[in-house]
Amino acid sequence: MSDLTAATLEYATRLGDDALVLGHRISEWCSNGPFLEEDLALSNVALDYIGRARMYYTYAAELAGGGKTEDDFAYTRDAREFRNLLIHELPRGDFAYTMVRQLLVDVFNLLYLEALTQSADANLAAIAHKAIKETRYHLRRSKEWVLRLGDGTAESHKRTQRAVDALWGYTHELFEIDALEQSLAEVGIGVNNTGLRPAWLAQVSAILSEATLTVPKDDWAVRGGRVGYHTENLGHLLTELQFLHRAYPGLKW
């Protein structure tokens, strides 16, 4: 396998990990939503993410060869091998927390996928073209909810601000790049995410201000997802996600 193929395989796996872990988190709302329509909406968003993970993993499996499938990536790797950014694995929290995370991630994804549609890798570009259309719908909804909750009752405002404050330190990692991603960005395959922060911050700040929320100071940051250092939460999530496959390897539905 050439270095470029190996790097692309790792990159597709990372993006698949981001999508799978967040998709699983959102799916935890299924049957726990605050009301029926919201339960359906969250389940649908979760499905979009899991579908996205399948596309990235299927491509990674194709690059890996040797008969690997998407399931090998989702079900047989341990927490230390997952490369998702940490913001995706944090527990779902209350509804305000879930919607604030969606807003922060949706604005980021829109910018990121826009850039990825230009990828020199036809498969990654095709996945981005597909995913970005769904992300536009996700963002419309998360934005509406953050406005409604932030500018809602004293209680909803308090919880939404608490979520913004708790999540803010995890957003810095979204804009960090390592040598592998740098090398792919240089050949036009990967996205140089370091340049996306000004646009992200401008959009997020405008929405938070309109929602009467305060944009936190940048005085703390947590990182490590891309090298496999995770919070304790990922292991718990994988325990549930991988249980069936670990207990009955190769089981078919």
Partner 1 sequence: MSVSTIPIVTSAWQERLQRRQGSAYSAIWDLLDAVKDPEIPVISLWDLGVLCDIQQQSHEDGTLTVVSITPTYSGCPAVDMMRDQIAEVLEQAQLRPYQIKTQLAPAWTTDCLSPKARKQLQAYGIAPPQTSCMHAQSYTPELGVPCPRCASSNTQRISEFGSTACKALFQCEACGEPFDYFKVL
Query: Which positions touch partner 1 (CB under 8 A)?
Result: 23, 37-38, 40-41, 44-52, 54-55, 122-123, 125-127, 129-131, 133-134, 136-137, 140-141
- Cβ proximity to partner 1, 55 vs 60, nearer residue: 55
Q: How many residues does the chain have?
A: 253
Distance CA 144, CA 38 (A): 13
Give the whole-angstrom CA distance, residue 186 versus residue 199.
Answer: 21
Are the CB atoms for 163 and 93 separated by under 8 Å? yes
Q: Which two tokens stand for residue 44?
A: 């649908």
Q: How far is the CB of 51 from partner 1 (least distance, A)?
A: 3
CB of 55 to partner 1, least distance (A): 6
Of the candidates 94, 91, 101, 96, the residue with the CA atom closest to the CA atom of residue 170: 101
State in angstroms the smallest separation of the CB of 140 from partner 1: 7
d(CA 98, CA 114): 24
Closer to partner 1 by CB, 37 or 219: give it.
37
Closest CA to 40 of 27, 24, 53, 23: 27
Closest separation between CB of residue 113 and partner 1, Å?
12
Tell me how far, at minimum, the Cβ of 133 lies from partner 1, in Å.
5
Nearest to partner 1 of 68, 130 (CB atom): 130
Nearest-angstrom CA–CA distance, 7 and 184: 7
Of 35 and 248, the one with the shorter C-beta distance to partner 1 is: 35
Residue 127 or 185: the one with the smaller Cβ distance to partner 1 is 127
